[in-house]
Amino acid sequence: MSFTEEQIIRYSRHIILREVGSKGQKKLNEGKVLIVGAGGLGSPAAYYLAAAGVGTICVIDDDVVDLSNLQRQILHTTGDVGRAKADSAKEKLTALNPDCRVISLHERLSAGNALEIIKEYDAVVDGTDNFPTRFLINDACIMVKKPFFHGGILRFFGQALTVIPGQGPCYRCIFGQPPPPGSAPTCAEAGVLGVLAGTIGVIQATEVLKYLLGLGDLLVGRLLTYDALSMQFREIQVKKNPDCPVCSDNPTITGLVDYEQQVCTLREGE
């Protein structure tokens, strides 16, 4: 595949980077990324990945746009309130970069469809707002050996971790199992400074691009944490759990389960 004149111009800032060049740009153009959740984290991640020329982006989200989302979910506009987030996302990403083939799935990622969907992609971005789905993605990615780019935000804090099956720890090595329903704050109970979604979502997108390009050091075995109030990043060394129920040599979890969902239930008018 050679670049069109329009692509040379669009991607010129990548092409002139020695570490990327035309070969790297082609890798991006052939890359396939799944974004789970078109919300706070998924929005900036998907937006920059589309801008970078990632060839195929699938956005899966069963939710519709709510006015209260717009404080941080930058793929959606006021006019999108009430629309399926997956469709709104597809419209914006395609408008930004027609090179990018965008697949929108207006459904929830579940134990029933996760493996089937994830196996089609090179990388999976965590843009979820709840622990059950996050554990589900982690487990599914380990099972089909796909890299998983975790991100999470709450209040003024954020974190990111990259899981490469067979290399470092997985999300479950570090966090064990989903917290029991009622113990973890849901987004209905905890606020978040909207801009945190951009900070962490863009770190996830950076990791995806580095992975597709084969560049640099990924956040494998290093949990990056961010405190916006003190404006400090910290790095916590995290190890693989030799008895991890999903990624150890003798896993006890060999199939996917849907944990009880505890998601944001606070909706305007409800």
Partner 1 sequence: MESIKISDTLDITDVVCPVTFARTLLKLEDMQVGEVLEVFLNEGEPLHNVPKSITNEGHKVILLEKAGNRYRMLVERGE
Q: How far apart are CA 164 and CA 162, in angstroms?
A: 6
Does 1 bind partner 1 (CB under 8 A)? Our answer is no
Choose the binding region for partner 1 from 15-23, 75-83, 123-131, 212-220 (rule: CB under 8 A): 15-23
How many residues lie near partner 1 (CB under 8 A)? 11
Q: Which helix (H) or strand (E) holds 104?
A: strand 101-105
Token representation of residue 71: 């404080």
Does 8 bind partner 1 (CB under 8 A)? Our answer is yes
Look at residue 71 and give its three-state secondary structure: coil
Interaction pattern, residues 20-49, with partner 1; x per rule: CB under 8 A: -xx---------------------------
Give 21 or 165: the residue with its C-beta nearer to partner 1.
21
CB 108 within 8 A of CB 117: no
Instruction: Report CA-CA distances (Å) from 52 to 84, 226, 229.
Output: 25, 25, 30
Give 21 or 179: the residue with its C-beta nearer to partner 1.
21
Instruction: Report CA-CA distances (Å) from 140 to 106, 110, 113, 173.
Output: 19, 10, 10, 14
Token representation of residue 21: 């060049």
Supply the minimum distance, in Å, between the C-beta of residue 15 and partner 1: 4
Does 166 bind partner 1 (CB under 8 A)? Our answer is no
Among 9, 67, 236, 257, binds partner 1 (CB under 8 A): 9
Among 1, 18, 229, 269, binds partner 1 (CB under 8 A): 18
In terms of C-beta density within 10 A (0-12 exposed, 13-18 middle, 19 or more buried), how is residue 221 classed?
A: buried
Does 13 bind partner 1 (CB under 8 A)? Our answer is yes
Choose the binding region for partner 1 from 18-26, 62-70, 148-156, 179-187 (rule: CB under 8 A): 18-26
Supply the minimum distance, in Å, between the C-beta of residue 50 and partner 1: 20
CB 59 within 8 A of CB 42: yes
Does 3 bind partner 1 (CB under 8 A)? Our answer is yes
CB 147 within 8 A of CB 124: yes
Does 12 bind partner 1 (CB under 8 A)? Our answer is yes
Choose the binding region for partner 1 from 16-24, 143-151, 205-213, 225-233 (rule: CB under 8 A): 16-24
Among 1, 4, 16, 207, binds partner 1 (CB under 8 A): 16
Q: In what order do the strands lie in the sheet with 101-105?
A: 101-105, 56-60, 32-36, 123-126, 148-154, 157-163, 222-227, 232-237
Residues at the contact surface with partner 1, assessed by CB under 8 A: 3, 8-9, 11-13, 15-16, 18, 21-22
